[in-house]
Structure 1
């Protein structure tokens, strides 16, 4: 392979059999080196080869770790550590409480978006999934998606919290944005989230309900993998608006937050042999005063439904 050969992002997506958005995510995370020629991103063949070699080494390391963990479980007779997905700080609090309550059981955290988390659960790769997915037609959060994706699986849906979601705008709201229809304004620049995230689903559902074509919004394909990253793009002036939750706006300076909806943030928990050792303890934590008091320290959380089972299969 010539050292001068390079590829476009579309060609990389075809070679690796992944989506173009995933290629951009790899570039954003610094895992795949790139450079810009005019308006086009290019990746050298040598950098593609380096990425492949790192991925192979990482996969080999993960397989070795999994084998070691499995051997440890057999040797010590302990249950398998649950995989807990999602990005909100409340999940780190929950994992900490579970570890303290059951010494030796350390939950594994995966910062995966809501829709991808449910798919991971369906594939047997996650035990506790956090999700905040709006079904625009019914106005219901989460359960319509869960029922469609987890067909035939035993699970329960338990509320973790509710929180405001809406638009990030520059300090003082110079464009006077007040609602979802304002995203159709000509020239408005958006900082977007990745496909599969709750914020992306919220945006796409609101665009659909308001008859706004995604391709008409500048920056719709500008992908960022966290609320803070989106808010930072707005703060820096690289975007005029972004979708997310109030907490990131409280962290990032020069950003205001316009609340437009109250989203329900639920946990989906599989009911099987893997969850049996810790399921009751997890529910006890969610309903405990100690955990609720810790959640109350975070501004904007509504805990009126915390710990309630909202849906359960037989």
Structure 2
């Protein structure tokens, strides 16, 4: 793993916390940082060590799987049970777009994504080809899941379709840049010729599906978009389906010649992993582990 230096903002994105929280962690001595002029820089390996997921002598023996879905935690756990040499897998909570970017920058990363391309009406492959130019890649299907509208129980604003986000009486809770949901929202606006400035709450950001649903439940907005599973975790939220999305995994073909990455594929194609994913409400596991590219 290389000695990449991160800004406090980048660390905040990795840890899914506010930037000020990172500064507090540095001040308390919980997180190592170097001051360069007036700016702090944090070594990526120190972030990993703070999370307790690597040891100093294991730095070159880790596989970073980017994504926010909880099924990736099960994947990492099943892989780590195999005790493949000194390798360990762990999840970085980066969204789809940012995960592909990190994979392009770093050799030890695997990306997962659910990025809808409005022009072709397909998921992931157009983004994989654009964001990792010149790379020889394999794409494996994980699951399909419904994404849709989060509204308060009883749907007091009678929000039933994407176009309702443009109404004057509707306030959106948006998602962060780089997330699959944010890409979907922006692609829908582009296709419909809708200026994002016409959407109330467009800059009202939530960093996860769960936070978005909770903000709608608390009245910080009238509607958000997220996956069906999360809507069932927040009391007082109703889910209105919009589109079934494909959630896939991207691995370099050169890595598939190496045992640790072969074992990652072995896990996602296993009956145990299928049953784990199948137990998550709202997931369609048909073709789980199938190679798409």
Q: Distance in 1 between matches of 2:160 and 2:142?
A: 28
What does the per-residue CA deviation read over 1:154-196, in whole Å, with 9 as the maximum and x for residues that have no partner? Answer: 2200001110001101111111111111111112101111001
Q: Distance in 1 between matches of 2:220 and 2:11?
A: 21
Q: Distance in 1 between matches of 2:103 and 2:136?
A: 11
Q: Distance in 1 between matches of 2:220 and 2:55?
A: 47
Q: How far apart are 1:126 and its partner, in Å?
A: 4.7
Unaligned runs of 5+ in 1: 1-15, 34-45
Q: Distance in 1 between matches of 2:276 and 2:254?
A: 29
Question: Is 2:247 the counterpart of 1:262?
Answer: no
Q: How far apart are 1:221 and its partner, in Å?
A: 0.4
Distance 1:205 1:222, change over 3 A: same
One of 201, 205, 209 as aligned partner of 2:191: 209
Distance 1:203 1:125, change over 3 A: farther
**Match for residue 93 of structure 2?**
111
**Match for residue 98 of structure 1?**
79
Distance 1:99 1:282, change over 3 A: same
Q: Distance in 2 between matches of 1:253 and 1:119?
A: 35
How many residues are aligned here?
A: 274
Distance 1:154 1:70, change over 3 A: farther
**Match for residue 278 of structure 2?**
296
**Match for residue 205 of structure 2?**
223
**Match for residue 132 of structure 2?**
150
**Match for residue 57 of structure 2?**
72
Contact kept, 8 Å, 1:247 with 1:299, in 2: the verdict is yes
Question: Is 2:154 the counterpart of 1:172?
Answer: yes
**Match for residue 37 of structure 2?**
none
CA-based RMSD of the aligned residues comes to 3.3
Contact kept, 8 Å, 2:173 with 2:212, in 1: the verdict is yes
Q: Distance in 2 between matches of 1:275 and 1:299?
A: 34
TM-score, normalization by structure 2: 0.83
TM-score, normalization by structure 1: 0.77
**Match for residue 33 of structure 2?**
56
What does the per-residue CA deviation read over 1:272-305, in whole Å, with 9 as the maximum and x for residues that have no partner? Answer: 3597121222222112111111111111111112
Larger Rg: 1
